[in-house]
Amino acid sequence: MTRETDPELVRRALLSLDYPADKQEVVRHAAGAGAEEAVTRVLSALPLGTYDNLDEILRSIPRDPAEGEELSTTSRQGGPRLRP
């Protein structure tokens, strides 16, 4: 996992975020909380949708296949709710 996708950096950036939150709220909150540019860039790559909690956000962060992480289908379940 790269530094910008480090779950601890994302957690710190979203510590006081009120849920549910859509992608735009997540990115805005992280930027307003002073998150590193790399963290806001990673959050900007989230799929559109509404996130009910931090775990959903962390599971939805796009992974670089070169990082060698294998995500099973079960680890991707429970993602954001898509807007109708």
Per-residue pLDDT of the chain (84 residues; tens, 9 = 90+): 455 568 999 999 999 999 999 999 999 999 999 999 999 999 999 999 999 999 999 999 987 666 554 433 334 456 677 655
Compute the distance between CA of residue 11 and CA of residue 82 in angstroms, rounded to an integer.
22
Which pLDDT belongs to residue 80? 72
Residue 19, helix vs strand vs coil: coil
Contact 13, 64 (CB under 8 A): no
Which pLDDT belongs to residue 70? 41
Phi-psi group of 49: left, alpha or beta (phi > 0 → left; psi -120 to 50 → alpha; rest → beta): left
Instruction: State the DSSP H helix or E strand holding residue 9, giving kind and residue range, or none if neither.
Output: helix 7-13
Which pLDDT belongs to residue 78? 60
